[in-house]
Structure 1
Amino acid sequence: MDNSEDLRADDVAQHGWAHGRLPLPTEGREWRRFASAWDDLVPDAYLGPARCRRNRRYGRVLAHRDGTLEPLVGTEFFQSKQINRAFGDQLRVFEPLTDEALASTRFTEILRESVALVNEAAGKRDWELGIHFIRVIADADEASEPAPEGRHRDGHEYVAIHLIDRHHCVGGESQVFRRGEERAQHRVTMTEPLEALVLSDTTMEHAVSEIRTEQECECGWRDTLIVDFNTVSDLTEVAGRTHSSLQ
């Protein structure tokens, strides 16, 4: 697939994954302001001995089926050891997304486009979104693994992985596998802002190869925005309701 092609919901519905690009601008003042949020991430305190340098923030949004995006309070994130062999069975609490990032027009546009695509593939419903801003950093003398857990699923219904930026780095090839199969169905090194992979996390697995710095560069990084989709069956049971909306 050409990197410039738009994402297709029927690819997600039929094949369990789609690769393409969100049809949104990635130039101008609003994009630069939004992308600068990755300069304000904080070190991931849970990496331990993992061969990864990673900065991040995390937030949660309730995506109502009527299109309302309601920010939620609380940044607790849990995966079982069965899902995440590297970091599972521990409650991780990350630093929240900044108010400036939440107020960004480009941020809400990305969420609306992603939700619309998943709704078209899966059927319109209410979703609790887990939103990860992540920068993986490589130094001149050490590569860094964007996914230290290796080939994996994330324990959600759908996952959307959006590239925001790459800076002086090589590597970071994404691989998409059907669960139980050894051969990758798709391999791509995303290079364009808002190039994305959208996956059915119940049927597919994915992995990302390590990143390294470009020759003679002291530091390089790869910025991504990851959105986890979980169906909400009862809105009254969602923790951290604010009953407000993102613009």
Structure 2
Amino acid sequence: MTVACTEIVLDAHAVTSISDDISKQGWAYRDGQGMAQRLNLDPDSWEDFSRYWENLALDEYMADQGTYRYRRYSEFDFKVGGALHKLPHAAYEQATYINTLNGGVARHFLPLEDGMVEHPLFIALLAGIARVFDRVEGATCDWNIRLHPYRIVTNEFEQGKPTPEGRHRDGVDYIVMMLVRRTGITGGTTRVSTLLNKTLCEVTLANGLDVIMGDDRQIMHEVSPINCQEIGRQGYRDALVIAFTRKGV
């Protein structure tokens, strides 16, 4: 792995502005170009990080029988100022009232690759986002973090569904939805809404690092299906979903 020798870190201005938005309205959107600048991220480091989406595995637990989702999964503990601790690999489970499609099943996915976990951008992202949520909470928190890199594919035979369960929340404290890339597709618009289904934000994440962060206790979200832009050619949407839950509360 070759990574440029710049320090990747989310700057204080970004932490303050994003946390202020979440405190005021429950969510925040930032475009990828601005995030790259605030992270001091160079293009080579981003390309190096995003290549890990090439090694995701087919999700074999789709209750709708879909073959359009590829993923991995790992879980961590983290506190700002301390080290990132990867927890022993285990099945991923959600209650049926949270995930009406695939809940109630112990789903076994491959863990994140070591190179991804050790990448400077990975570490900087989690540390920076933890600082954002700490500021919203008004305390330095012990966080449980669950990470889900996804690739949703589509072709002339199958539509891709980034959120096959539909409008939902994840049953955590805070949620992060970050685009990695989209290739050869239409659709894939993210809608953030109140618990009473009032639209708060509707945006198509289009560029790498475009991101929405939100208080999962206040908002719900969904992403519209994707279709291939050109018949006969597969398209796909790569994303990283990160769930933060405060421990011991």
Scaled to the shorter chain, the TM-score interval is 0.7 to 0.9
Output the CA distance in 2 between the equivalents of 1:45 and 1:27: 35
Mapped pair 1:152 → 2:162: no
Output the CA distance in 2 between the equivalents of 1:8 and 1:65: 17
Mapped pair 1:218 → 2:198: no
2:155 to 115, 132, 139: 139
RMSD: 1.9
Output the CA distance in 1 between the equivalents of 2:219 and 2:67: 24
CA contact (8 A) 2:57 2:70 kept: yes
Q: Which amino acid aligns with 1:19?
A: Y
Change (3 A) 1:31 1:61: same
Mapped pair 1:130 → 2:140: no
CA contact (8 A) 1:50 1:148 kept: no
Q: Which has the higher helix share?
A: 2
1:15 offset after TM fit, Å?
A: 0.9
Residue 20 of structure 1: aligned partner: 30
Change (3 A) 1:227 1:185: same
Moved more, 187-196 or 120-129: 120-129
Q: Which amino acid aligns with 2:117?
A: L
Q: Which amino acid aligns with 2:189?
A: E
1:55-204 aligned within 5 A: 55-123=70-138, 124-180=140-196, 182-204=197-219
Output the CA distance in 2 between the equivalents of 1:199 and 1:50: 30
**Cα displacement string for residues 71-114 of structure 1 (whole angstroms, at most 9, x for unaligned residues):** 22213211111111001111112110011111111111111121
CA contact (8 A) 1:83 1:154 kept: yes
Q: Which amino acid aligns with 1:177?
A: S
Output the CA distance in 2 between the equivalents of 1:19 and 1:48: 31
Moved more, 195-204 or 225-234: 225-234
Q: Which has the higher strand share?
A: 1
1:29 offset after TM fit, Å?
A: 2.7
CA contact (8 A) 1:52 1:146 kept: no
Output the CA distance in 2 between the equivalents of 1:190 and 1:48: 26
Output the CA distance in 2 between the equivalents of 1:130 and 1:136: 19
Output the CA distance in 1 between the equivalents of 2:119 and 2:157: 36
**Cα displacement string for residues 176-205 of structure 1 (whole angstroms, at most 9, x for unaligned residues):** 11102x331110000121111111111110
1:229 aligned counterpart, secondary structure: strand
1:63 offset after TM fit, Å?
A: 1.1
Q: Which amino acid aligns with 2:51?
A: S
- Structure 1: gaps spanning 5 or more residues: 235-247
Scaled by the length of structure 1, what TM-score is found?
Answer: 0.87
CA contact (8 A) 1:67 1:112 kept: no
Output the CA distance in 2 between the equivalents of 1:134 and 1:206: 16
Give the percent of matched residue pairs that are identical in Structure 1 and Structure 2.
Answer: 28
- Structure 2: gaps spanning 5 or more residues: 1-12
CA contact (8 A) 1:53 1:137 kept: yes
Scaled by the length of structure 2, what TM-score is found?
Answer: 0.86
CA contact (8 A) 2:153 2:237 kept: yes
Output the CA distance in 1 between the equivalents of 2:43 and 2:25: 35
Moved more, 33-42 or 70-79: 70-79
1:100 aligned counterpart, secondary structure: helix
Output the CA distance in 2 between the equivalents of 1:52 and 1:8: 35
Change (3 A) 1:51 1:44: closer
Q: How many residues align?
A: 229
1:117 offset after TM fit, Å?
A: 1.3
CA contact (8 A) 1:51 1:148 kept: no
